[in-house]
A and B are shown apart, each in its own frame.
Chain A
Amino acid sequence: MRVRAIVSACCAVAFCAAGAAAQTPPAAPPAASTARAAAPAAGWGADTVRLSVDIGVQGGGSAPSQSSTLQIYQESAPLNVSYGTKSPLLLEGGLGVHVHGRFGVGVAISYARSKTDASVQAQIPNPFYFGQLRPITGTASALQRTEVGTHIDALYLVPVNDRFDVMLSGGPSILYVQQDLVSSVNFSESYPYDTAAYTSAGLTRVSKSGIGFNVGADFSWRITKTIGFGGLVRFTRATLSLPLSGQPSISTQAGGVQAGAGIRLLF
């Protein structure tokens, strides 16, 4: 079995630059000629292993919506938090191995991190009387969300020409989410305690893993026999329940559309 690898590296902006670069092929180095000669236009050729490294963004994510109940002044205090969405920076690396014909298997790791604000609404009980809730609203800032995806894929190679091919992929994903959740609220108040004002939120960092799926396509354009540029588009999704101590778990959808570009190494 021969090995073919793809490795790519660029950021979201560099992705466009890479595209521009792709329109102006560099002077063909000897290695590229070798690669062309060695790699047939159709199917896995001389390379049987592809390595890829990408930088990009993850979009279409779903922010959790939280309805919790705090205990304040011996009484239930409803807490509702709407977390903001933001397309996080994506780092991704993958390994593909040829199995038979146009088919292969692969594993990829994606890492996405973002910081967003959350809108906090709570009803603060009166310290002296039951049933006299006081509404407060505010914003919790810079809540961090990190997603790590492990994607196990079946691969199918679609060659376009001797430099360019498309690798279709699909399979299960294990998505791990680490999220800052609002677990308490701080407020100011003074006698006669008819009103309260939001001052800040107490945060708790929670994490959870779950199994989902992914489908994607990897575009690679070879410069030499073993080096090229590439782009990746993948959709991955898993529904997770984030645990928050003493509260009902909070449902969130991990993943989304992942797009990146970078370097391909082919062996």
Chain B
Amino acid sequence: MKWRVLALLTAVGVLAGVHPSAQTPPAPAVAQSMAVATTRQSLGTWDARVDTMLSNGQLDLSRIQRDTVLPSREHERLNQTYRGLPVFGGQIVRQVANGTVVSVFGRYFTGIDIGTQPAITAAAASKAAVAAQGANAVASGDPVLGVLPMAGSRYVLAWQVEVRSPWDIEQYYVDAKSGTVVRHISKVVADTASPAIGIGTGVTGDREKMSVNQAAGVYQAIDVLRPAAAFTLTFAGSVTRFNDFLSSGQVFNADIATSSTNTWTDGAVVDAHAFQGMVYDFYYKVLGRKGLDDANHQVTGIVHPLARADASRFSSTVVGTYINNALYLGNGYMLYGDGDGVSYNYMSGGLDVVGHELTHGVTDYTSQLVEQDESGALNEAFSDIMGTAIEFEAQPSTADWLIGEKVTLTSPGYIRSLQDPAANGYPDHYSLEKYIGTDYDNGGVHYNSTIVSHAFYLAVHGGTDRVSGITVQGVGMAKLDEMAKIFYRAWAFMLTSNAQFIDARNATLQAASDLYGAGSNEYTQVQQAWNAVGVQ
């Protein structure tokens, strides 16, 4: 079986611009089946493949959704089928603009080769599911026969049965050959949740509250107090588990980080879980946004994908991608590397890093900035800008204009600076833009991002651009949130996937004008900041 992740638009790490190793695709040994389609060429390939599958009956158009943000676009939702039966979990969405496919997301399963004739009836499957659920359980609705992907490259012909019992609704999958229950999932996680607040020690010794779920005899790293459920999983550095995830895309209850005492000591878990919540809070309280998709999309953070102690066993590419890196994988999934302990600490230890990666998720659901050349630099800049704004919001006493300072162990002790990009070799003026049209760093997406993020710094804090000598007064730190709103509004609602720097200038000026007026100081500072970095 091959399970593919299609068009993972922003599966790029916060460090990718710093480590040349991260420019190359994930190491084959670990990520053989993962495809990242960010270029127009690969998009065309996937689009053609989807058309073929539609015509030969492997995909079934389930519905077409209107785009609430971009009215000119619509999204086709396609369900995978096998010999007329649904493949549970196999689904692809295709974004179409005026008849042209813009993006393809989703997952489909290949290599299915099973009989489709059930040995047990729907009624027998219902009976087995109800018996498994226990006292007072009843089947709800008609069982659905389909193909259930299992771990370990297996498929099972299964009846999907909904079973209701006091306090619970479960989805059961009963093997249609043997009659045994092969999987069951609660459909009412939030309703049966038992919230609790734990305490934990983070990567840098920080004390954090943990919004968790209290289950039988154990606390689970599931945030059930915020509107969007957030899970923190640990693969405990198991190469086998991580490879299985990359090939199957499946996560299990057993992956959920737990504590028997509710005093959490795994710093990577603590910070990933606490910081994911802080990012949600910032977007909700400052920007009025409900999670990544503005509809409380679930967030799943994974720590210890590979063990720090095993760093020497892997190639520099694997280390650069899955150990000294944090990644947004799409669909609300985050991966936080362990750091090798020499160059980097556990990557979830930086709130700005977590904010950066989750902001890629926001971009994923909004402008979908293509991770290439200037649009990619805008994508990275937006993540740095929001990551920094989140840090000032949630950690005001230690916040700064540096990215990754909490997790960088070697000189200069951070990854990028919005205040003084040049101090770490990054450009602070448009005239210094490099690598456009090259393969390096996808056309310098991280490298050139500081031209834009420096403009944000100048618009807020004020200062003089090193190259242009232009001084910007800035709106002042007390109004950082105002500037964050301007940039968010421009990025989330006005920029399109191939936007250039000049578009960002125009969009932020429009946003400033809409929010505070064309004659406002905010408008003037935005204008001055772009002038200072040479984008005009």
Which of A's residues lie within 8 Å of B, judged by CB? 73-75, 127-130, 191-194
8 contacts between A and B (CB under 8 A): A74-B198, A74-B199, A74-B209, A127-B225, A128-B211, A128-B281, A130-B207, A191-B225
A191 contacts which chain B residues (CB < 8 A)?
225-227, 284
Contact of B394 with A129 in the complex, beta carbons under 8 Å: yes
Closest Cβ of chain A: how far from B443's Cβ, in Å? 39
Contact, CB under 8 Å: A74 / B197? yes
Task: Give per-residue flags for B246-288: 1 if the beta carbon is below 8 A from chain A beta carbons, else 0.
Answer: 0000000000000000000000000000100110010011000
Task: For the complex, give the distance between the alpha carbons of A193 and B278 in Å.
Answer: 13
Once the chains bind, are A128 and B278 in contact (CB under 8 Å)? yes
Whether the pair B284, A192 counts as a contact (CB closer than 8 A) is yes
Sample of 9 further A-B pairs with CB below 8 A, known A73-B209, A127-B209, A194-B285: A74-B198, A75-B209, A128-B277, A128-B278, A130-B207, A191-B227, A191-B284, A192-B284, A192-B285
Which residues of chain A come closer than 8 Å to B274, judged between CB atoms? Answer: 128
State how many angstroms separate the Cβ of A143 from the closest Cβ of chain B: 29
Q: Count of chain B residues with Cβ under 8 Å from any Cβ of A? A: 16
Known contacts A74-B197, A191-B226, A191-B227: A130-B281 contact under CB 8 Å: no
Chain B positions 368-412 with a Cβ under 8 Å from a chain A Cβ: 394
Complex-state Cα separation, A128 to B274, whole angstroms: 8
A181 to chain B minimum Cβ distance, whole angstroms, is 25
A129 to B225, Cβ gap below 8 A? no
Residue from the set B199, B211, B225 with the largest chain A CB neighbour count within 10 Å: B225
Given contact pairs A73-B197, A74-B199, A191-B225, A129 touches B285 in the complex (Cβ within 8 A): no
Cα distance A130–B209 when bound, in Å? Answer: 8
Once the chains are docked, how many angstroms separate the CA of A75 from the CA of B208? 11
The chain A residue sitting closest to B207, CB to CB, is A130
Chain B residue, CB-CB nearest to A126: B209
Greatest chain B CB density within 10 A among A128, A130, A193, A194 is at: A128
Question: B207: which A residues are within 8 A, CB to CB?
Answer: 130
Residues of B near A73 (CB, < 8 A) are 197, 209
Chain A residue nearest to B228 (CB atoms) is: A191
Give, as a whole number of angstroms, the nearest-CB distance from A72 to chain B: 8
> Least Cβ distance of B202 to chain A in Å?
12
A27–chain B nearest beta-carbon distance, Å: 77
Q: How far is the CA of A191 from the CA of B209 in the complex (A)?
A: 16
Q: Report the minimum CB–CB distance from B250 to chain A (whole Å).
A: 30
Q: Restricting to B178-202, which residues have a CB under 8 Å from any CB of A?
A: 197-199
The distance in angstroms between the C-alpha atoms of A73 and B198, with both chains bound, is: 7
Cβ of A70 to closest chain B Cβ, rounded Å: 13
A128 to B209, CA, bound (A): 6
> How long is the Cα–Cα vector from A46 to B365 in the complex, in angstroms?
102
Query: How many whole Å from B332's CB to the nearest CB in chain A?
Result: 18
Closest Cβ of chain B to A14, distance in Å, is 57
B-chain residues with CB within 8 Å of residue A74 when the two chains form the complex: 197-199, 209
CB under 8 Å from chain A, chain B span 182-240: 197-199, 207, 209, 211, 225-227
Least CB distance, B298 to chain A, in whole angstroms: 15
CB pair A192 B209 closer than 8 Å: no
Q: Is the CB of B394 within 8 A of A127?
A: no
Instruction: Look across to chain B and name the residue whose beta carbon is closest to the beta carbon of A131.
Output: B397
Distance in angstroms from A215 CB to nearest chain B CB is 54
**What does the 1/0 interface line of B273-308 toward A look like (CB < 8 Å)?**
010011001001100000000000000000000000
Minimum-distance CB pairs A-B, first 7: A74-B199, A73-B197, A127-B197, A128-B209, A74-B197, A192-B285, A74-B209
Residues of A within 8 A of B394 (CB): 129
Residue-wise interface mask of B (38-73) relative to A, using a CB-CB cutoff of 8 A (1 in contact, 0 not) = 000000000000000000000000000000000000
Residue of A nearest to B195 (CB): A127
Q: In the complex, A129→B210 CA distance in Å?
A: 9
**B127 CB, nearest partner CB in chain A, Å:** 41
Q: List A contacts of B278 (CB < 8 A).
A: 128
Query: A210–B225 Cα gap in the complex (Å)?
Result: 47
Residue pair A127, B227 in contact (C-beta under 8 Å): no
Q: What distance in Å separates the Cβ of A128 from its nearest Cβ neighbour in chain B?
A: 6
Interface centre among A74, A129, A130 (most CB of B within 10 A): A74
A212-B340 Cα distance, complex, nearest whole Å: 70
Task: Give complex CA distance A224, B307 in Å.
Answer: 99
Separation of A235 and B285 alpha carbons in the complex (Å): 60
Give chain A residues whose Cβ lies under 8 Å from the Cβ of B227: 191
Q: Is there contact, CB below 8 Å, between A192 and B197?
A: no
Q: How long is the Cα–Cα vector from A20 to B198 in the complex, in angstroms?
A: 69
On whether A129 and B284 interact (CB within 8 A), knowing A74-B199, A191-B227, the answer reads no
Note all chain B residues with C-beta closer than 8 A to A193: 225
- Report B1 CB to chain A, min CB distance, Å: 40
Q: How far is the CA of A130 from the CA of B278 in the complex (A)?
A: 12
B141, chain A: closest CB distance, angstroms = 32
With CB as the reference atom, state the residue of chain A lying closest to B278.
A128
Complex Cα distance A129/B277, Å? 10
**Measured CA separation A194–B281 after assembly (Å):** 11
Chain B residues positioned under 8 Å from A192 (CB to CB): 281, 284-285
**Chain A residues with Cβ under 8 A from B285's Cβ?**
192, 194
CA distance A129 to B393 in the complex (A): 12
Residues from chain A with a CB closer than 8 A to the CB of B198 are 74
The answer to whether A129 touches B226 (Cβ under 8 A) is no
A176 to B199, CA, bound (A): 41
* B284 lies within 8 A of A127 (CB): no
In the bound complex, CA of A192 to CA of B278 (Å): 11
Contacts of A127 in B (CB 8 A): 197, 209, 211, 225
Q: How far is the CA of A193 from the CA of B197 in the complex (A)?
A: 13
**Complex CA distance for A27 and B199, rounded to whole angstroms:** 81
Contacts of A194 in B (CB 8 A): 285
Q: Which residues of A contact B197 (CB under 8 A)?
A: 73-74, 127
